[in-house]
Amino acid sequence: MKWKQVILVFLITLIFLEVGLQFIAFKFHRRAPDSFRSDDIRKIRILAIGESTTAKETAYRPNTDWPYLLEKRLKEKGYSVVVYNGGRGATTTSFLLSRLPHQIQKYNPHIVISMMGINDHNLFWLKEQSVFGGMGFWRNFRVIRLLAYLVSDKKSWVSSSMKLTRFGERDGRWFRSHLQMERVQEWITEISPQSKERVFNEIEGALKGISIEQQAQFYAFLAEKIDRTHQKLPFFNETVEELYVRSWDLSPKVHFVAEDLIDLIIRKGGA
């Protein structure tokens, strides 16, 4: 009988752990994006909506989400504005639009800016899976996700119930470790006013045969790497901006580095 008691205690513990994790996740996703302040009524109110490209919690460091930076840059230029971040990671366009009426009622914005679509299945996922079939069912349990995170290489079990495609397949998203460009580091170190045209021609040749979304993602990736390597020197500032413009023109569905994206938006908009 003792082993039955052990199993019972184990199952009860798992149930309490699952309930606790689900509650924490619920509270996390219910967290209000920003609070409406009394003096906001006298300002230009901007509501930003989107998935991980927008949300505060998925910014790569604090205060680097683009809504925060947009508000900061506009205030520096003398505009009386407030930007509310209504972003939420790992969501689709339809989900974000379903929340929009409530957010508009809450914030009464003059302007709504959206950056969404990167998680829409038919664009960026290998396939759709039913949450009630196969492994998709078990991925709904946060205890399972937690255990998988602790014992695995921390890939798609935690972040999603669907597998991301890899670089080289017909898709626009990939983990950076899957970037299969042999000369990336050489391009970053070799690029200069004298070699820029040659390097760009080599890059264009290497990108032939892959999807438009992948090309856009690669240009954004390369811009970030060059920017960090060369510490914002004048020539490299122009090169980085050109790479971001190429990425933007090919496809807006790209995870940009937020600071550079805001600079680009302000330059293109003439703010």
Domains and CATH numbers, the chain: 38-118 (3.40.50.1110), 127-159 (no CATH), 176-254 (no CATH)
**Amino acid at site 250:** L
User: Given a cut of 80, is residue 191 above it in pLDDT?
Assistant: yes
Query: Where is average pLDDT lowest: 70-84, 101-115, 133-147?
Result: 133-147
User: What's the pLDDT score for residue 155?
Assistant: 43
Q: What is the pTM of this model?
A: 0.44
pLDDT band at 217 (very low <50, low <70, confident <90, very high): confident
pLDDT band at 74 (very low <50, low <70, confident <90, very high): very high
What average pLDDT does this structure show over 165-190? Answer: 52
User: Given a cut of 90, is residue 48 above it in pLDDT?
Assistant: yes
User: What's the pLDDT score for residue 257?
Assistant: 47
User: What's the pLDDT score for residue 241?
Assistant: 80
User: Given a cut of 80, is residue 42 above it in pLDDT?
Assistant: yes
